[in-house]
Amino acid sequence: MIEFKHVSKTYPNGVKGLKNINLKIEQGEFVVIVGLSGAGKSTLLRSINRLNEISEGEILIDGSSITRAKGSSLRKIRRDIGMIFQSFNLVKRSTVLRNVLSGRVGYHSTWRTIFGLFPKDDENLAFDALDRVNILEKAYTRADQLSGGQQQRVSIARALTQQAKIILADEPVASLDPLTTKQVMDDLKRINKELGITMIVNLHHVDLAREYATRIIGMRAGEVVFDGPVEAASDETFAEIYGRPIKKDELLGENA
């Protein structure tokens, strides 16, 4: 479903963000990318939907090159890729429903989305998505009146309303407490299992990766240093990924 072919990224200052990445990620996988800050996790994740442009190589989505796509072709590919951010990326003064409906922007003309003229079918998709993440009762609440965990659930519902085939999550629980972290990760895992949506999640903490992933990709200094099933990711494996023995806060989570 997603294929990296000799992908590299060099920043203007000469720093190599990615170094000759070759990966295939199949439909329905729950992939967790781990590594220290600066290892290239976010660069890799954001290159999938071209939030980060690569310097060399090619990325294919369902056999189509997103690297070379332009205009309507690029918009069509991106429509299938939902994005969940650490900072939620919600319009705080808008209602939860309006935020979730923004997932339909790629399906309609600019004027229709500017004026919020979404058809009834889109609203039904949004309500279903909110119900799936257990915050349907918050549909008409302003986003800035929600807790952090609830706001992240809104962003998940937005990706579901988008009808994304792939969901990218960049450190989605980094700012959440342990209980809320579990709730959000449980939501992502359930959606992955029930809907078959491919999940690619950047995480810093080892125990979360072990609990939720079907496959772990370890990165260090822009390179993939481990790629395998979660069962193969031993403490020694993580020590190799991190370049040193794992600390307690990395094992249990920074809020543990």
Residue 228 confidence (pLDDT): 96
Residue type present at position 134:
N
- Give the total residue count for the chain: 256
Question: Taking the model in full, what pTM does it have?
Answer: 0.90
Let me know the angle formed at the C-alpha of 16 by 15 and 17, rounded to the nearest 5 degrees.
110
Residue 51 CA to residue 60 CA, distance in Å, equals: 15
The pLDDT averaged over each successive group of 10 residues in the chain (256 residues) is 96 94 97 93 96 96 96 92 92 94 80 69 95 96 95 96 96 92 96 97 92 96 96 91 71 43
Query: Can you name the residues that pair with 11 across neighbouring β-strands?
Result: none
Q: Are 95 and 143 in contact (CB under 8 A)?
A: yes
Residue 256 confidence (pLDDT): 31
